[in-house]
Amino acid sequence: EALLSDSVTVFDYFSAHPRVDSRHIVALGGSLGTGIAAYLASQRPLAAVVLFSPYDSIAGGVAQDLIPFIPTRWLLRNKFDVMDYARATSVPAMAIIGDADEVIQPERSLGLIENWSGPSLVQITSRGTHYSIYEDQSSWEAIARFLENLNIIISNQ
């Protein structure tokens, strides 16, 4: 709950800052952070969301895939069920998915994006693992095109 509420607090702080154009705030999340970014998209008017290795659920999903012989849905207190957030937002989303991701199965990522209520785009990284997709130049080029198509300008200022 603290991670989710902190995301809203951070958004509210920056969106009120005089040097920030609140119409162009983009949330970028990786792995566990994709659930937080999806939650924020369901709570605040983001311009877009970029998700590296998104997931549908941790407790009954990702954790179950990693430890199939233990009923993780009942054992983990923090479920991180993200589907409701995906269905509750119209924010454009881009998912970067590694086809060799052994932590978050690509099917989990695709399942979330298929349930995203807003426009969505998927970039599959060939031989991409849970960690290597961040290093793949084509991922960052795809993100730049995605944001450019939404008229979001990336600035160093």
Determine contact, residues 91/118, Cβ cutoff 8 Å. yes
Least confident of 2-11, 58-67, 133-142: 58-67
CB-based contacts of 74: which residues, under 8 Å, 6+ apart?
Answer: none
The single-letter DSSP state of residue 68 is T
Higher pLDDT residue, 20 or 77?
Answer: 20
pLDDT of residue 56: 83
**For the segment 7-42, what is each residue's pLDDT rounded down to a tens digit?**
999 999 999 999 999 999 999 999 989 999 999 999
User: pTM for the whole thing?
Assistant: 0.88
pLDDT of residue 82: 87
Determine contact, residues 75/55, Cβ cutoff 8 Å. no
